[in-house]
Amino acid sequence: MEYITNNNWAEYYRELEPKKRKEIMETLFSEVEDDGANELRKSLFEKRHKPKKNAVTEVDNGIWYLIVIPANMSIRYRYLPGAKKDIMEAMDDMGVTDVDKSDPVAVSAVYWEIRNIAKRYYSTCEGPKYARKLFGIMASSPEEKLKKTAYFLWDCVEGIPNYFGIKDDMQIFIDAMKDEFFDHYEYGEKAFRNVCEEKERKKKR
């Protein structure tokens, strides 16, 4: 699938802080001609940051979905009746299932929003608290963090879509998650390829 890069919106999709993103979005709405996807961008932003009941901190539902989706690869969740429904609801909220696939501008707006979600998630995976060892006492090396994140990516773009038979339904999400991973990490493609090869070897045993 082809995705359009609109340079007017490059800063918006690079920025990770919701408050700053909202300011950029509002400025672009007033200063740049609408390419036909402004209402969609606004809707995606509002769904992503819709506060939960009694929430006292900033909410990013996109990050929450990146926790929920791969969790369904766990044996204890995989066979629950609502597992596939939870995944498709996440796709709905991120705009993947409802977007007009014949409209490249709209499809690209969904794609780039998911890349922003992924970018924010991958940034947290580089933090000192991610993938700690020995009951949280010892920090992991950058290589260990990358490997763990590559396993996460495999669950999101290979494990879940193939197990539930929804790869076509998730294609925009899959492309965005992989493309951002490969851009974010210098050795991302190699790390992901290693995980894929490891999974294939285990299947053949």
Q: In the chain, what are the domain boundaries?
A: 21-204
Model confidence band, residue 51 (pLDDT cutoffs 50, 70, 90): confident
Q: Please, are residues 156 and 69 in contact by the beta-carbon 8 Å criterion? A: yes
- Helices 171-184 and 188-204: angle between axes, nearest 10 degrees: 120
How confident is residue 77, by pLDDT bands cut at 50, 70 and 90?
low
Residue 135 pLDDT: 45
**Is pLDDT of 79 > 80?**
no
- Single pTM value for the model: 0.91
Mean pLDDT (whole number) for 52-64: 78
- Say which residue the tokens 């920090």 belong to: 139
Q: How many CA atoms lie within 13 A of 34 on its CB side?
A: 11
Tokens 């210098």 locate to 186
Residue 8 and residue 32 in contact, taking contact as beta carbons nearer than 8 Å:
yes
